[in-house]
């Protein structure tokens, strides 16, 4: 993890995307984190390198992303998750912050399962889960599909993209919600680092 007195938290985004939609969201998470002041590592988990594994190990926070395939995270993400088992044994990611995002074709599409998996996976690594931190959008007669968190998730950022649409069809509100997640995790990581530094100064 970064120096506890550093004001610039290190945030890694570890994602899989089969057809590019989730990659658009990952870019949005990256933008939100960078604009909030993070030093961002951007990792496509199906092509992860030794250097990128090191960036994950060094990060203050890791934000996981995957499309929802067959009611859960994709096989590409699961391959990565299983490859982290030595880190799980060693507790190498213990006390890092964690968060997640997903995308699917259906409005629901069982995305909750994917976010719940990310939370369980993070808990196995003894990480600290950061929720989306937004009220639900698009849930009253005056609300619209352009609201942040238009799909009404709490565990993480969720998006819906037509399965036959190009990467330009990822919904602007979902992109903004993903940017929010990146910024929120960055702020929480800065707070935790500051708190740890303050505690360390008292002993
Ligand atoms: C193998 C497979 C399984 C899928 N399963 C689901 C699903 O369970 N629920 C859903 O809503 N969409 C499902 N979809 C649609 C994808 O979630 C959707 O196309 C998504 O935008 C793909 O993201 P990507 O471009 O990052 O791969 C599935 C697509 C594939 C290829």
Domain boundaries, the chain: 10-201
**Under 8 Å between Cβ of 15 and 22:** yes
Q: Which atom of ligand 1 is nearest to the CA of 104?
A: 17
* pLDDT tens, residue by residue, 19-57: 999 999 999 999 999 999 999 999 999 999 999 999 999
Name the 3-class secondary structure at 37.
coil
**Under 8 Å between Cβ of 159 and 132:** no
pLDDT of res. 36: 98
**CATH T-level assignment (fold) for domain 10-201:** Rossmann fold (3.40.50)
Q: How far apart are CA 68 and CA 108, in angstroms?
A: 10
Which residue's CA is minimally distant from atom 4 of ligand 1? 69
Which residue's CA is minimally distant from atom 11 of ligand 1? 109
Task: State in Å: Cα 25 to ligand 1 middle.
Answer: 14
* pLDDT tens, residue by residue, 50-69: 999 999 999 999 999 999 99
Q: How far apart are CA 188 and CA 60, in angstroms?
A: 10
22 CB near ligand 1 (under 6 Å): yes
160 CB near ligand 1 (under 6 Å): no
User: Which residue among 14, 22, 68, 75 is best mutated to probe the pocket of ligand 1, counting the most ligand atoms within 8 A of its Cβ?
Assistant: 68
Strand partners, 12: 41, 62
164 CB near ligand 1 (under 6 Å): no
Task: State in Å: Cα 203 to ligand 1 middle.
Answer: 50
Tokens 């590409």, located at residue:
76
Q: How far apart are CA 98 and CA 35, in angstroms?
A: 19
* pLDDT tens, residue by residue, 146-164: 999 999 999 999 999 999 9
């Amino acid at each position: 993890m970064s120096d506890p007195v550093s004001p610039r938290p290190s945030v890694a985004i570890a994602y899989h995307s089969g057809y590019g939609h989730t990659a658009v969201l990952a870019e949005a998470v990256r933008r939100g984190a960078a604009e909030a002041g993070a030093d961002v590592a951007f990792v496509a988990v199906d092509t992860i390198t030794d250097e990128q594994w090191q960036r994950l190990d060094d990060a203050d926070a890791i934000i996981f992303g995957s499309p929802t395939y067959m009611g859960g995270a994709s096989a590409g993400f699961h391959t990565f998750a299983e490859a982290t088992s030595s880190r799980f044994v060693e507790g190498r990611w213990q006390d890092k912050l964690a968060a997640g995002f997903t995308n699917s074709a259906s409005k629901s599409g069982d995305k909750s399962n994917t976010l719940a998996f990310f939370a369980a996976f993070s808990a196995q690594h003894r990480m600290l889960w950061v929720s989306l931190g937004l009220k639900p959008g698009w849930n009253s007669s005056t609300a619209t599909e352009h609201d942040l968190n238009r799909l009404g998730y709490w565990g993480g950022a969720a998006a819906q993209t037509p399965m036959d649409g190009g990467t330009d069809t990822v919904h602007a509100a979902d992109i903004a919600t993903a940017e929010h997640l990146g910024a929120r995790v960055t702020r929480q990581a800065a707070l935790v680092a500051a708190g740890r530094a303050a505690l360390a100064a008292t002993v």
